[in-house]
Amino acid sequence: MTRFLPKTFWQLVFAALMAASAYVTFVRFYHGLGSSTNLNDQFPWGLWIGFDVLCGVGLAAGGFTLAATVHIFHLERFKPIVRPAILTAFIGYLLVIVALMFDLGQPWRIWHPLIMWNPRSVMFEVGWCVTLYTTVLALEFAPVVLERFGLRKPLRILKSVMLPLVIAGVLLSTLHQSSLGSLYLIMPHKLSPLWYSPLLPILFYISAIGVGLAMTIFESYHSSRAFGRQLEFPLVKRLSEVLAVVLAFYLALRLVDMKSRGAFQLLESPGIERWLFGLEMVLMALPMLLLFREKIRNQPRAIYWCSVSYLMGFMAHRMNVAITGIESASGVRYTPKWMEVVITLGLIALGFAVFRWVTALLPIFSDEEERPSIAIKVKPMPVRNDAFQTVAPVR
């Protein structure tokens, strides 16, 4: 993206965002949530929960999807992008936790759920899973750091427990990706039937897997431009095929579920809901339909834009669940205050910056020094290795 405009421009934007974020941080912690957000008793959850937490955790789903693909399903060809994916996920989860620190009324009590149990609470479960999974991500990422500093012994220990770690990571992700949907199960009276469904956890889970695939495509595309590292195109194409199938499955489930609950008649009532619902649907259905066409799947750029469209549809869905669908029952309209938006943008910018910084310092895009014993013998890659990047000309 940096290539659209001169680098200094982005540096300025970044600096401005950080300065604004610092100011908002002061307002938030000195004057409280009332001064920094548009939240109120009728609308207690806003942008920070809807976007930073719900979308943030979802967008970090690439970590577990790829860890499972490579380490459990042994699809070793995807190995070059496991590290970037784990790093993205790790940064993502840390940012989600930072966002939570802004949103919680008393963030210094964030550890309370770890000792004050309430197993009937979805939030309790999410809290535990996110804590544990962030730890797992740290451990999955640790080899990179250890390698960099040549610490062989801890590296060996870590590698010997990698399998249980990866399995734990996948399970924890499964639990909390779906549980983010379960959070809303207790609100049949609040969430509009366009989004409320007993299937929410399953829908959240499947769409998170879709995001894992789409984010992989997205990252691969961008890292090819920024770092010259990428997946071979056949792999990207394969990913896009799987994405199309996952999307088809998701949409079928979503529509059948809506039909069985008679939710479609709600589309007749006027208001913004149906348009935002439509937007969410189109952003998801369009890439699915396109990706089923061989012609589209032969164009890296088209695959990239299909992934972007799905990612936006995914975010639209999460925001609809968290905000649009709640508005009418709560009796108020919610638009985020500029300070909420600043923190959200600031965190995204921070995420990008940290990612670039870490990749400059650590061997994220280089191969591990210890090749696994069962590594595929690398045949000299034929010309097919024309990569993602050839069609992304420098503008």
Residues forming the site for other proteins (CB under 8 A): 29-35, 39-42, 44-45, 68, 71-77, 103-107, 109-110, 112-113, 116-125, 127, 163, 167, 170-171, 174-175, 178, 182-183, 185-190, 198, 201, 238, 242, 326, 330, 374, 376-377, 379
Q: How far is the CB of 64 from other proteins (least distance, A)?
A: 11
**Is residue 99 a contact partner of residue 48, using CB atoms and an 8 Å limit?**
yes
**Is residue 348 a contact partner of residue 99, using CB atoms and an 8 Å limit?**
no
First to last CA, the chain: 10
Alpha-carbon distance of 93 to 130, in angstroms, equals 8
- 3-state DSSP assignment of residue 103: helix
Half-sphere exposure of 113 (CA within 13 A, CB side): 19
Ramachandran area for residue 113 (φ above 0: left; ψ -120 to 50: alpha; else beta): alpha
Residue number with CB closer to other proteins (172 or 387) = 172
Residue number with CB closer to other proteins (74 or 152) = 74
Q: How far is the CB of 254 from other proteins (least distance, A)?
A: 17
Q: How far is the CB of 312 from other proteins (least distance, A)?
A: 25
Q: How far is the CB of 359 from other proteins (least distance, A)?
A: 26
Residue number with CB closer to other proteins (11 or 269) = 269
Residue number with CB closer to other proteins (147 or 257) = 257
Q: How far is the CB of 370 from other proteins (least distance, A)?
A: 17
- 51: which DSSP letter? I
> What helix, strand, coil percent values describe the chain, rounded to 5?
75, 0, 25
Residue number with CB closer to other proteins (5 or 72) = 72
- 3-state DSSP assignment of residue 40: strand
Q: How far is the CB of 293 from other proteins (least distance, A)?
A: 20
Q: Rounded to the nearest 5 degrees, what angle is found at the Cα of 393, between the Cα atoms of 392 and 394?
A: 120
**Is residue 365 a contact partner of residue 83, using CB atoms and an 8 Å limit?**
yes
Residue number with CB closer to other proteins (110 or 145) = 110
Alpha-carbon distance of 211 to 205, in angstroms, equals 10
Q: How far is the CB of 344 from other proteins (least distance, A)?
A: 18
Which residue, chain included where needed, has tokens 């975010």? 315
Residue number with CB closer to other proteins (11 or 42) = 42
Radius of gyration of the chain (CA): 21
Residue number with CB closer to other proteins (93 or 355) = 93
- 3-state DSSP assignment of residue 339: helix
Q: How far is the CB of 71 from other proteins (least distance, A)?
A: 8
Residue number with CB closer to other proteins (119 or 262) = 119
**Is residue 155 a contact partner of residue 146, using CB atoms and an 8 Å limit?**
yes
Q: Which residues pair with 40 in a beta bridge?
A: 43
**Is residue 232 a contact partner of residue 378, using CB atoms and an 8 Å limit?**
no
Residue number with CB closer to other proteins (71 or 254) = 71
- Output the six-digit token pair for 379: 């045949």
Q: How far is the CB of 280 from other proteins (least distance, A)?
A: 21
Alpha-carbon distance of 30 to 132, in angstroms, equals 31
Q: Which residues pair with 43 in a beta bridge?
A: 40
Q: How far is the CB of 354 from other proteins (least distance, A)?
A: 26
